[in-house]
Amino acid sequence: MNTKILASILTVAIALPVFAQSDQREKRIAWWREARFGMFIHWGLYAVPAGEWKGQPIPGLGEWIMNRAKIPVAEYEQLAKQFNPVKFNADEFVAIAKNAGMKYITITSKHHDGFAMFGSKVSPYNVVDATPFHRDILKELSVACQKAGLRLCFYYSQTQDWHEPDGVGNTWDFPDASKQNFQKYYDEKVLPQVRELLTNYGPIGLIWFDTPRNITLQQSQQLADLVHRLQPNCLVSGRVGHGLGDYDSAGDNQISVGKVKRDWETPVTLNDTWGFKKDDNNWKTPAVLIHQLAQVASRGGNYLLNVGPTAEGVIPQPSVDRLAEVGRWMKVNGDSIYGTTGSPFPYELPWGVITTRAQPARLYLHVFEWPGKEFVLYGMESKVRQAYLLADASRKPLAVKQQHHADTGLDELRIAIPAAAPDAIDSVIVLETDGAVKVITTLMQQPDRRVTLPAYLSDIHAAAKPKLRFDSRGVVEQWLDKSEWLSWDFQVSSPGEFEVVAITSGQKYGSNWEGGHRVTASVAGKDVQGVIADDGKVENPSNPYWAYVMSKLGRVAVPKAGKYTLSLKPQEIVADKKFGLTLVSVQLAPAH
């Protein structure tokens, strides 16, 4: 046979299953893209000690107490006898989620401690057989979810299991790693329990695997295949390992600073723990939660917000209150979240975020900082047919002026708005366009005259393959080589004097910021040299665990409207802590 024909037959034969697979993935992920907002529930035996062991508060996450306090299996197992959550009411859990506007619930079926929250024939270490409660919590939730029309999903810790000698993580009871047989644990507990979860609880939305650690490609593949074979419409989370998930999971409490191309979800804590801790009262405010929800949606992702029920079986009241506040906002503004895709702009906006609906074509402007009287948006190419406030049931049209400035090339949209914000946290302006939404995607100065140049939209210059890279939020990390530099092209419509400011990011929980680097920023034929010093913090509600630090580099004059390039070149990078220059963005702030 002609080799060309043979090659094309082979190509088709190989491509077919891949197409079939991606087709199926598109089908199974449709509900999840529509949902955008879900409830995470971390619940297990760790709710009994609630962050305290033998009278001592144990630092860290509540569900990690067995590991943090190195509690022997024989002792930790005793907690099962005390686990009797008599106040648990599945309908109440589901009502709290539904009232918040959440469309799915993902509950820990088995966390790293190895204890199953369902009646499992595979191991007696489960809620039905080992506790005085004797009720199958997952079964009750599956009935309640089906009644209320929410999707039920299961978290399952596939690699870490501190109860089993062959699971990963328990080095205090089982110190001899050479005696470990992970495959045995995987074959005898993981596969059969996942099979139970997908067989005994009706249709499941997704399995949230976690911390893949040392799992092999073959084992991850086998898990994903098992899920998809038993329930073809069930999704597999990104943390199944080896990139085999149906969508990506962001790091805990991490929100990308830029748009993400793949489907993604971020898990977020309401306070600082997943599993209940009686002393953790560091609750996020409703404003932070609503802003995060809108931000995640504006970057094309799902927001999975956690509650940690107590050992009595109730969701803590501060959690219930905050979720009710989010629900109050969602009842009015849900259209701007459900079934939307991200912002059409590749960069962030100073006043809030944007979500988009394809059919019928809508742009939702989530205004966190209400300007009063007039709202201005640059770069809108489509004709805006109508504008109104989502909070206004009568949809009274707002006066709109749309103008293309031939001299500067600027597309300017002006909307007359009421002086007072319809919502103190996030007021949504709806724009209806003629045909699909089209915008200018080049970086440009904003109506507040500020120019923000995000690291993830820079051109990278390096002699060889650049060593600097972006973390999962889109922040530069590993910028240790001073020969590597960044540049941005952007549009200025309102010239003048500007302060050049660099925004850098600390590592998680703020302790690990590294400064002292000397850099040169060049723009409009002028160089400014400055030091990355701590000249103040920037509020960062989308990533409250990572402090943003502002460094003032110097002043530049931009003489006239037009196109400019700014380059940022390091003269010296301090890398004692090996973090280097962790750049979020460079800003030109109008100097008054």
* Cβ-contact 268, 304 below 8 angstroms: yes
Strand intervals (E) in 348-399: 352-357, 362-367, 374-378, 384-389
Nearest CB to ligand JFZ, comparing residues 46 and 364: 46
**Residue 32 found at the interface with ligand JFZ (CB under 6 A):** no
Nearest CB to ligand JFZ, comparing residues 61 and 584: 61
Nearest CB to ligand JFZ, comparing residues 46 and 513: 46
Query: CB 206 → ligand JFZ: shortest distance, Å?
Result: 14
Nearest CB to ligand JFZ, comparing residues 63 and 432: 63
Position of minimal CB gap to ligand JFZ: 251
Nearest CB to ligand JFZ, comparing residues 315 and 363: 315
Query: CB 457 → ligand JFZ: shortest distance, Å?
Result: 24
Q: Which position has the token pair 């929980």? A: 509
> Which residues are CB-contacts of 482 (< 8 A; sequence separation ≥ 6)?
569, 570, 571, 572, 573
> Which residues are CB-contacts of 164 (< 8 A; sequence separation ≥ 6)?
114, 170, 185, 189
Nearest CB to ligand JFZ, comparing residues 357 and 473: 473
Peptide bond into 570 cis (omega under 30): no
Nearest CB to ligand JFZ, comparing residues 166 and 252: 252
Site map 168..197 versus ligand JFZ, x via CB under 6 A: ------------------------------
46-65: which residues touch ligand JFZ (CB under 6 A)? Answer: 61, 63-64
Task: Give the number of other Cβ atoms within 10 Å of residue 358's Cβ.
Answer: 11
Query: CB 319 → ligand JFZ: shortest distance, Å?
Result: 16
Candidates 89, 99, 200, 211: give the one binding ligand JFZ (CB under 6 A): 211
* Cβ-contact 465, 416 below 8 angstroms: no
Candidates 210, 246, 280, 426: give the one binding ligand JFZ (CB under 6 A): 210
Query: CB 248 → ligand JFZ: shortest distance, Å?
Result: 10
Query: CB 253 → ligand JFZ: shortest distance, Å?
Result: 8
Collapse the DSSP code of 62 into the 3-class scheme (helix H, G, I; strand E, B; otherwise coil) and give the result.
helix
* Cβ-contact 155, 109 below 8 angstroms: yes
Q: 153 φ, ψ to 5°?
A: -135, 155
Query: Cα separation of 361 and 31, whole Å?
Result: 20
Nearest CB to ligand JFZ, comparing residues 63 and 514: 63
Nearest CB to ligand JFZ, comparing residues 210 and 280: 210
Query: CB 223 → ligand JFZ: shortest distance, Å?
Result: 17
Nearest CB to ligand JFZ, comparing residues 305 and 547: 305
Residues 10-27: b if buried by 16+ CB within 10 A, e if exposed: eeeeeeeeeeeeeeebee
Q: Please report, for residues 194, 247, 391, 439, the alpha-carbon distance to residue 200 in angstroms, rounded to integers and kept in the order given.
A: 10, 25, 43, 48
Query: Cα separation of 191 and 540, whole Å?
Result: 41
Query: CB 508 → ligand JFZ: shortest distance, Å?
Result: 8
Give how many residues touch ligand JFZ by CB under 6 A. Answer: 9
Query: Cα separation of 569 and 443, whole Å?
Result: 20
Task: Give the number of other Cβ atoms within 10 Å of residue 372's Cβ.
Answer: 10
Collapse the DSSP code of 17 into the 3-class scheme (helix H, G, I; strand E, B; otherwise coil) and give the result.
helix
Q: 164 φ, ψ to 5°?
A: -105, 135
236-255: which residues touch ligand JFZ (CB under 6 A)? Answer: 251-252
Query: Cα separation of 541 and 130, whole Å?
Result: 42
Nearest CB to ligand JFZ, comparing residues 211 and 222: 211
266-295: which residues touch ligand JFZ (CB under 6 A)? Answer: 267, 274
Query: CB 56 → ligand JFZ: shortest distance, Å?
Result: 20
Collapse the DSSP code of 452 into the 3-class scheme (helix H, G, I; strand E, B; otherwise coil) and give the result.
strand
Query: CB 37 → ligand JFZ: shortest distance, Å?
Result: 17
Query: CB 160 → ligand JFZ: shortest distance, Å?
Result: 7
> Which residues are CB-contacts of 461 (< 8 A; sequence separation ≥ 6)?
484, 485, 486, 487
Collapse the DSSP code of 320 into the 3-class scheme (helix H, G, I; strand E, B; otherwise coil) and give the result.
helix
Query: CB 446 → ligand JFZ: shortest distance, Å?
Result: 32
Nearest CB to ligand JFZ, comparing residues 449 and 508: 508
Query: CB 542 → ligand JFZ: shortest distance, Å?
Result: 16
Please give the residue ranges that form the binding site for ligand JFZ (CB under 6 A).
61, 63-64, 210-211, 251-252, 267, 274
